[in-house]
Amino acid sequence: METAGSENLTPKNLSESQSEINSLLLTKLDPVARIMLPQLQSIQFHVSKIDTVKTNQEILRAPTTRAQKSNIIIHGMSDNETESTARLKSDTEKLLSDICGRKINIDTSHRLGQYKPNNVQPVKGKLILQSERDLIMKNRDKLNPPKFIKEDLPFSTRRDNAVLWNL
């Protein structure tokens, strides 16, 4: 004696059942829903295109993001017209070593933008080790204002973050 629903449901039976349900839905839909079905399919098509574009943008953005992972931006470091790159690098290493409590090595550092009197340009530092960058980001709150440290993010990510903060 078999009870209702005790028959074996194989993938073939499931797909046949799904097909039957879909055909019943299409035949039983009211006229308004029949009119809406092509629009729904069009929306689904456009959503899939948008997903593809977003995926492609992420793929294109990935190399930039990977290259920027070991960079930091330091705001508020004093600036003068005759500053040399060697002096800037040593000052940056000293500042970062002070906040982290151990020696931090920087590959390169440079100012973002030209020197302007009465205006302090941010410093971009490229670290040798990703772990040192992570340590700096953990300890960045130890800096006294007006100095602060940010991640070096692509423009599109900074723009997206700004939009999210304004929600």
Predicted confidence (pLDDT) per residue in 1-30, tens digit: 444 554 555 656 766 777 777 777 766 666
Residue 4 lies inside a defined structural domain of this protein? no
Give this prediction's pTM.
Answer: 0.61
Q: What residues make up the domain containing 149? A: 70-153
Residue 108 lies inside a defined structural domain of this protein? yes
Q: Residue 81 is part of a domain; what is its CATH number? A: 3.30.70.330
- pLDDT given for residue 18 in this prediction: 73
Residue 119 DSSP class: B
Residue 82 lies inside a defined structural domain of this protein? yes
Residue 63 lies inside a defined structural domain of this protein? no
Per the structure, how many domains does the chain have?
1
- pLDDT given for residue 30 in this prediction: 63
Residue 101 lies inside a defined structural domain of this protein? yes
Residue 140 lies inside a defined structural domain of this protein? yes
Beta bridge partners of 108: 126
Show the low-confidence residues of the chain (pLDDT under 50). 1-3, 6
Residue 51 lies inside a defined structural domain of this protein? no
Comparing CA positions, the residue from 67, 64, 87 lying closest to residue 77 is 87
b/e map 2-20, b = 16+ CB within 10 Å: eeeeeeeeeeeeeeeeeee
Q: What is the pLDDT of residues 74-87, one digit of tens each?
A: 999 999 889 999 99
Residue 129 lies inside a defined structural domain of this protein? yes
> How far is Cα 115 from Cα 132, in angstroms, rounded to an integer?
28
SS3 state at 24: helix
Show the tokens assigned to 26: 């299409």
